[in-house]
Amino acid sequence: MCKRNGETVDYLLLHCEGGYRGFYSKNTIKLTPKVVNDIHKRGGTFLRTSRGGHDTSKIVDNIQDRGINQVYIIGGDGTQKGAALISKEVEKRGLQVSVAGIPKTIDNDIAVIDKSFGFDTAVEEAQRAINAAHVEVESVENGVGIVKLMGRYSGFIAMYATLASRDVDCCLIPESPFYLEGHGGLFEFVEERLKENGHMVIVLAEGAGQDYVSQDSHPVDEKDASGNRLLLDVGLWLSHKIKEHFTDVKKMAINMKYIDPTYMIRAIPSNASDNVYCTLLAHSAVHGAMAGYTGFTVGPVNSRHAYIPISHVTETQNTVKLTDRMWARLLASTNQPSFLNRDEVIPEKVDQELSKA
């Protein structure tokens, strides 16, 4: 953000602490090169964040009152939706303010751009958890390791972490329904792998199997302050179901190792690749605002940095397409069942997927 003071342009860079509510409920903090010089080496967010609190009118009142003429909004798909509303309100009021969205989420669920900032770092850090699970299950008899990764609606972190690791036997994501019992089910596959190797690792995204889990436990339709649905813990549920099946039904002792590294992954500093990517996003955003563009989100599209209308980025969410080659590569790498050949799978979900193809 910057301010114009008489003739000479006196750029003042402020940050609104704590997410959208920071526009109207906190003092802004002046940013200088000295203040920000090492923030790229820290995890989390120096600007602090929050969920909820998006009051478009109060935010734009604040922008107007402070004479701010450039607003850079950093965050995931929800944040970009908020930025779109701010941009519309600024335009409606005829304000000379440039609104630029900078996409950031480890989930990689932001549409149009090639990938989101933070995603590569999360995939790289997930390797440590998967490797730990693999070491643990290799060290015991009939070891079954389950690693839960972030990904509320999109399974990109789980899919790419699985492909990178090659020590994963099965990857479960929100986009791909699965079932436990019967022919072609997960229980049958676990039994096969235990017989074959004596151990196995399952990687699952936290948003996988939610319809299934809710059949077993009272479904919660609570939402967080931003309107994102709160998830049931599919990792704990699956570890209990597998342990119960092999102990009570198969009368087979297994050693279950459940790892939930979600916050350890999200809390680390970004890696070198994401640091460079972040710099490119920042440069693109500032160049766009200085050139007079507004209502855009920056990001690479087919490897070329572009200014994308925010409304275009927020129309849909980026999800794994089961008919895409990358998911086929994953199935070929793990040799897991596709889980698409039983009526127990939620048929309409399969139809949805095939209709997207």
Ligand X SMILES: O=P(O)(O)OC[C@H]1O[C@](O)(COP(=O)(O)O)[C@@H](O)[C@@H]1O
Ligand Y SMILES: Nc1ncnc2c1ncn2[C@@H]1O[C@H](COP(=O)(O)OP(=O)(O)O)[C@@H](O)[C@H]1O
Residue numbers at the binding site for ligand X (CB under 6 A): 76, 78, 105-107, 150-152, 206, 224, 228, 266
How far apart CA 309 and CA 97 sit, in angstroms, is 15
Indicate whether 85 belongs to the interface with ligand Y (CB under 6 A).
Answer: yes
The entry of ligand Y, ligand X, none that residue 19 binds, CB within 5 to 8 Å by partner kind? ligand Y
Closer residue to ligand X in complex, CB, 230/276: 230
Give the span between the Cα atoms of 144 and 170, in whole angstroms: 11
Name the binder of 106 from ligand Y, ligand X, none, CB < 5-8 A by kind.
ligand X
**Residues 53, 103, 155, 235: which binds ligand Y (CB under 6 A)?**
53
Query: Cα(328)–Cα(310) distance, rounded to whole angstroms?
Result: 31
Please count the residues of the chain.
Answer: 357
CA distances from 215 to 184, 210, 222, 232 (A): 20, 9, 16, 11
Interface size with ligand Y, residues (CB under 6 A): 19
> 107 catalytic, yes or no?
yes
* Least gap, CB of 297 to ligand Y (angstroms): 12
Q: Are 165 and 127 in contact (CB under 8 A)?
A: yes
Show the tokens assigned to 96. Answer: 């000379």
Q: The dihedral of CA 285, 307, 105, 166: what is its sign?
A: negative
* Residue 353 sits in the site that holds ligand Y (CB under 6 A): no
28 binds, options ligand Y, ligand X, none, Cβ within 5 to 8 A by partner type: none
Per-residue contact string for residues 224-243; x = within reach of ligand Y by CB under 6 A: --xxx---------------
Q: Work out which of 15, 54, 134, 199 binds ligand Y, going by CB under 6 A.
A: 54
Contact map string, positions 96 to 125, toward ligand Y, x by CB under 6 A: ---------x--------------------
Shortest distance (Å) from residue 349 CB to ligand Y: 23
Residue 84: CB minimum distance to ligand Y, A = 8
Q: Which one of the listed residues 107, 109, 167, 274 is annotated catalytic? A: 107
Task: Please report how close the Cβ of residue 336 comes to ligand Y at its closest, in angstroms.
Answer: 29
> Binding to ligand Y by residue 255, rule CB under 6 A?
no
Binding-site partner at residue 101 among ligand X, ligand Y, none, CB < 5 to 8 Å by type: none
Q: Which position among 2, 19, 153, 241 is part of the footprint of ligand Y (CB under 6 A)?
A: 19
Q: How far is the CB of 185 from ligand X (least distance, A)?
A: 27
Based on the shown chain and the rule CB under 6 A, indicate whether residue 185 belongs to the binding site for ligand Y.
Answer: no
Interface residue with ligand Y, options 75, 155, 261, 295 (CB under 6 A)? 75
Extract the tokens encoding 135: 């070491």
Least Å from the CB of residue 125 to ligand X: 13
**Residues 328, 332, 333, CA angle at the centre, nearest 5°?**
115
Site residues for ligand Y per CB under 6 A: 19-20, 50-54, 75-79, 81-82, 85, 105, 226-228
Q: Which residues are catalytic?
A: 107
